[in-house]
């Protein structure tokens, strides 16, 4: 990905216009059916990349099992979970973003993925906690309505996060890094950066926010084989995604969304892991 060079015009001199054939087509000139199809295709490709990354991990572990290769004793569940998360995000981003860019010649700039500004601004820092509060209020309202309309659906399933029985300090640090740092950065880059940037070229803001948010929510509904679907987690992450996508549209950057995501996961990390160590019971 390359940043657009800045061209300075000489005073008193007019710059020649680019040939008509090189001008980018406005979104409305692309047929509606094609725009819808392209947006859905990018969404499907992103989901497929994420699923393939997890299947890749499963295949590697199966291969190691067939070859009687065992992990070192020092690699406990926490270390393995962190390592798997890193690999999954790397493979997913490589497939979803890097592969089309390099193999298909898809033009992509830092602005396209919401990283036109290299660091967050004070505006991003100020908006993040405000939007988090709004998203939590909205989530509560949506969950209340969902309980009324869908009484047969279990909306109290405990989210599976992959980290349990953390006893050592390094385990806490690894879990914090994975949940509060790695996941927000990678997921925001992938969903509000790459996917939103691609979809927004063909959809208006409303439908781009709707599609990317629903896709993000659905990515959290499956917890694993034999486990119940996490409908409550799907609803919560979808609502959160809507507010983060609004920030992406408003600021043109993913930095505010990364901060919101970090705050949300940081609160959850405190409730799940830190509060019990302090003798506080925040989950009934």
Highest mean pLDDT among 76-85, 115-124, 239-248: 239-248
- Cα Dmax for the chain: 75
The mean pLDDT value for 142-165 works out to 88
Look at residue 97 and tell me if it is in a domain: yes
Look at residue 118 and tell me if it is in a domain: yes
- Quick one: which of 78, 73, 81, 75 has its CA closest to 57? 81
User: Exposed, middle or buried, 260 (CB in 10 Å: 0-12/13-18/19+)?
Assistant: buried
Q: How confident is the model over 9-28, as pLDDT tens digits?
A: 444 444 444 444 334 444 55
Predicted local distance difference test score (pLDDT) of residue 20: 40
Average pLDDT, the chain: 86
Look at residue 80 and tell me if it is in a domain: yes
Question: How many residues would you count in the chain?
Answer: 284
Number of Cβ atoms within 10 Å of the Cβ of 276: 13
Is it the case that residue 151 has pLDDT exceeding 70? Answer: yes
More confident residue, 275 or 214: 214
Predicted local distance difference test score (pLDDT) of residue 202: 93
Look at residue 282 and tell me if it is in a domain: no
Distance, CA of 47 to CA of 130 (rounded, Å): 29
**Structural domain boundaries, residue 55:** 30-277
Q: Over pLDDT 70: what percentage of the chain?
A: 87
26 HSE (CA, 13 A, CB side)? 2
| Domain count along the chain | 1
Look at residue 200 and tell me if it is in a domain: yes
Predicted local distance difference test score (pLDDT) of residue 1: 61
Look at residue 114 and tell me if it is in a domain: yes
34 HSE (CA, 13 A, CB side)? 6
Asked if 255 and 124 count as a contact pair (C-beta separation under 8 A), the reply is yes
- What is each CA distance from 64 to 57, 59, 69, 252, in whole angstroms? 11, 9, 5, 44
Q: How confident is the model over 218-270, as pLDDT tens digits?
A: 999 988 888 889 999 999 999 999 999 999 999 999 999 999 999 999 999 99
Predicted local distance difference test score (pLDDT) of residue 17: 44
Look at residue 22 and tell me if it is in a domain: no
Look at residue 21 and tell me if it is in a domain: no
76 HSE (CA, 13 A, CB side)? 12
Asked if 193 and 113 count as a contact pair (C-beta separation under 8 A), the reply is yes
More confident residue, 212 or 160: 212
């Amino acid at each position: 990905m390359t940043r657009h060079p800045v061209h300075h015009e000489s005073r008193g001199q007019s710059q020649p216009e680019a040939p008509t054939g090189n001008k980018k087509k406005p979104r409305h000139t692309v047929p509606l059916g094609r725009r819808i199809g392209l947006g859905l295709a990018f969404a499907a490709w992103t989901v497929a990349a994420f699923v393939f990354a997890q299947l890749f991990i499963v295949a590697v572990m199966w291969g190691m099992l067939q070859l009687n290769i065992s992990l070192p004793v020092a690699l406990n569940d926490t270390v393995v979970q962190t390592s798997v998360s890193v690999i999954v995000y790397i493979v997913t981003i490589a497939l979803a973003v890097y592969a089309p860019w390099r193999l298909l010649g898809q033009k992509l700039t830092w602005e396209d993925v919401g990283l036109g500004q290299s660091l967050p601004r004070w505006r991003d820092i100020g908006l993040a906690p405000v939007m988090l509060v709004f998203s939590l209020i909205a989530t509560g309202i949506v969950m209340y309505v969902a309980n009324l309309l869908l009484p047969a659906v279990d909306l109290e399933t405990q989210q599976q996060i992959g980290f349990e029985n953390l006893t050592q300090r390094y385990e806490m640090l690894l879990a914090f890094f994975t949940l509060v740092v790695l996941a927000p950065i990678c997921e925001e880059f992938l969903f509000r950066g790459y996917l939103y940037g691609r979809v927004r070229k063909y959809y208006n803001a409303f439908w781009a926010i709707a599609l990317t948010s629903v896709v993000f929510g659905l990515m959290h509904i499956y917890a694993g084989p034999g486990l119940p679907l996490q409908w409550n987690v799907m609803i919560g992450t979808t609502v959160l995604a809507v507010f983060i996508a609004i920030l992406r549209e408003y600021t043109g950057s993913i930095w505010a969304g990364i901060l919101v995501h970090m705050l949300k996961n940081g609160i959850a990390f405190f409730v799940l892991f830190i509060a019990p160590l302090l003798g506080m019971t925040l989950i009934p």
